Amino acid sequence: MQTILVTGGAGFIGSNIVEALLKRDYRVIVLDDLSTGRLDTIDHFLHNPNFTFIRGSVLDRGLLRSIMKTYQVCGISHQAAIASVTKSILDPVSSVEANITGTTNIFDIAAESCCRRVVFASSCAVYGDGPESPKQEQMRLDPKSPYAVTKAAKEMLARTFCQLHAMEIIGLRYFNVYGRRQNPGSDYAAVVPAFITKALRNEPLPIEGDGLQTRDFVYIDDVVQANLLGLTAKNASGACINIGSGSSIGILELAHAVIRGSGSSSLIVHRPARPGDVRDSRADIERSRAILGYAPAYALDKGLAETVAWYRAREQKKPAQVAAAMQPVPVE
């Protein structure tokens, strides 16, 4: 049985990758410091004998070495990061340390442990705010935040390690990922869960600016598909490729779609536009098709329907959970 290490495996994307790997009979080790990840995203895996959770950081080189040796890790899905533009601006040192030093540790210890396959999370933020759309991999990178700079640096490190150590490292430039287990309070691509949770409560949906700005929203199962393909793809070493849906939608249109799909009576309210906001963003996914065989299976309406259903079930559980918590504890 092959063993895969998933860093950041208690997070939104990481926990979904873990679930898919376990279904495919991999042994999965999750390393997460729970700074943004949550135990409730992985607690349903704890009974699985092929699953191990280790609380710790990718900055801990000794722990990484121990994991690689103890579990004979053959592949790494590296999702751990501080994935917030805002946090990177307020505290660039922490973002650089977690995202660049942490990634360097992963690549370096993978190399010395003879683990040659690493798939890591990059971001469409590396393209900056230029007007060109769709975004193509050969475009000049123009990161506009410390967060985006760390993603570009990870890509350069990957190419260097591939050349120096004959490793197979693949970077996935995520566009706007959405789906089950995404935290609506997070800073990362949170417009879909924020809209859905508000719509289910019939609360107003806030839009910054006119709402005509467009984004490429990619469903979590398609992102998981890309990661699994990346762990096994041939002739992909050193590639950094777009992972999106290949289409885009305006934020105002998205809000209306969420209201319809959730049967909500929410109103839409406009707030001042955010300075420097990217106007249009869409992924060109031809390279990911050619290199990985990536084929998105979820159009936005299908992905939104599944996401709304998941959040609706989550909202319905809350009253029962609160009621249970308020019951008196029997004294023996």
Which is the catalytic residue, given 26, 127, 147, 298?
A: 147
Domain residue ranges in the chain: 3-317
CATH number of the 3-317 domain = 3.40.50.720
- Put simply, whether the predicted model's pTM sits higher than 0.75 gets the answer yes
| Structure tokens that stand for 119 in this block | 């798939």
Helix axes 251-262, 191-200, angle to 10 degrees: 40
What's the burial of 27, exposed, middle or buried (CB within 10 Å: 0-12/13-18/19+)?
Answer: buried
What is the distance, to the nearest Å, from the Cα of residue 237 to the centroid of all Cα atoms in its chain? 21
Q: What percentage of the chain carries pLDDT values higher than 90?
A: 85
The pLDDT tens digits for 120-160 are 999 999 999 888 999 999 999 999 999 999 999 999 999 99
Helix (H) or strand (E) holding 271: strand 268-271
The pLDDT tens digits for 69-92 are 999 999 999 999 998 888 999 999
For residue 134, give Cα distances in angstroms to 279, 286, 289, 304: 12, 11, 15, 22
Rounded CA-CA distance 176/192 in Å is 9
Question: Using an 8 Å Cβ cutoff, are 296 and 218 in contact?
Answer: yes
Contact residues for 160 (Cβ-Cβ < 8 A; gap 6+): none
The pLDDT tens digits for 239-296 are 999 999 999 999 999 999 999 999 999 999 999 987 767 889 999 999 999 999 999 9
Give yes or no for residue 327 having a pLDDT over 50: no
Give yes or no for residue 319 having a pLDDT over 80: no
Res. 187 pLDDT band, cuts 50 70 90: low
Average pLDDT over residues 37-52: 96
Res. 316 pLDDT band, cuts 50 70 90: confident
Res. 225 pLDDT band, cuts 50 70 90: very high
Average pLDDT over residues 22-26: 98
Catalytic-residue membership of 127 = no
Res. 323 pLDDT band, cuts 50 70 90: very low
Position 275 scores a pLDDT of 72
Rounded CA-CA distance 174/13 in Å is 10
